[in-house]
Amino acid sequence: MKEPPETGAADAAAKDPADAADVEWMRRALEEGHKGHPSPNPHVGALVVKDGAIVGVGFHARAGEVHAEGAALAAAGEKAEGATLYITLEPCNHFGKTPPCTDAIIAAKVARVVIGCSDPNPNVAGGGIERLRAAGVEVTTFVCEAEAQRLIAPWSKYVTQGLPYVSLKLALSLDGRIATRSGASKWVTGPDARARVHALRAQHDAVAIGIGTALADDPRLTVRDAMGASPVRVVFDTKLRLPPASRLVETAVDVQTWVICNADASTAAEETLTSRGVEVLRAPSSAEGRIDVAAALRLLAARSIVTLMVEGGAELAGSFLASRLADELHAFLAPSLLGPRGRPGAVDWAGPATPADAPHIAEPTWELVGKDAHVYGPLVYP
């Protein structure tokens, strides 16, 4: 994150907000910010408040469309004059697909702007806060800053590191198995958990699996049991073994499907897949001869993939954890035992030397989903 600008007395007080009303309104703006699918832009919410009442709300619905503050100001109309605008992210002060939001705020004659967090984008001149102050607008910063930064965490990683934000999903039994001794894995978890997974897919730009999962399960990886569009489907397939008759290839003309292989993979196999609508991306190999995960992620980010959900299998999950590139974990735990001769655990990697070294969810959320448990949260690597 870039250093925050110099602050005045009002801003200094807002770092430890004493105004409960500001906190309440900002949290309402954060609720708005979770709406829409603005990728590759950030999630942003805005609220216009006047005389203790909401007169306009807005969120950034899609890239290229009006930004959150513009939507909230438009909803408020003339009531925006003299009002307070709550915005979860510092307003932009540059021309992109839309004009600077600072201009719209100044033109609306808003008296005060309350900001959740500053803009972390190093490629943008920024200066939204300074621009507003220079125009005589009172600015209060860093109200609910941690929540505001969490809202833009995927986009923040994307613009500062050039990598997608990775959510790792695991489905396993109580004894840590992902399939029975015969290899059967449908279904370890119940229908409610599977519906939750479909809802998670719809929240991501892309969903990825390894070739082992593609061969064993022949999945579709589409969104069917929840509202939302299907994400781009990605297969990590070092040697291009994905069968042309697989459901992923057969539906590639309807849902974008990308296969990542290494430089030595068969050109004939590539031609077969591309003729059926699959896009083949080549990435360098790791020391173990697999696809270099970090290089593959950079390829995806270059194609505007901000959020990536990794669903399987064990080797791919292990590669992401070993590389410390998984940002968030979603584990679905079924109340069943598949036995010691069941397939190996959900993650295939060397693992930590001690429990203290283990990656973990610092503040996990536990929820019952049907008969299964869903535990999730950002990962911490000691």
User: Which positions are catalytic?
Assistant: 69
3-state secondary structure of 33: helix
- Burial 90-105, CB ≥16 within 10 A → b, else e: bbbbbeeebebbbbbb
Return d(Cα 23, Cα 114) in angstroms, integer.
10
- CA proximity to 225, closest of 253, 193, 250: 193
CA dihedral 67, 68, 70, 72 (to 10 degrees): 160
Spell out the residues 6+ positions from residue 128 whose beta carbon is closer than 8 angstroms to its own: 90, 91, 92, 93, 100, 101, 102, 119
Q: Which residues is 373 bridged to in the sheet? A: 333, 368
Give the CA count within 13 Å in the CB-facing half-sphere of 301: 19
- β-pairing verdict for 45-50 and 53-59: antiparallel
Return d(Cα 220, Cα 315) in angstroms, integer.
20
Return d(Cα 350, Cα 360) in angstroms, integer.
16
Do 291 and 236 form a contact (C-beta atoms < 8 A)? Answer: yes
Return d(Cα 287, Cα 19) in angstroms, integer.
54
Do 378 and 321 form a contact (C-beta atoms < 8 A)? Answer: no
Return d(Cα 305, Cα 163) in angstroms, integer.
8
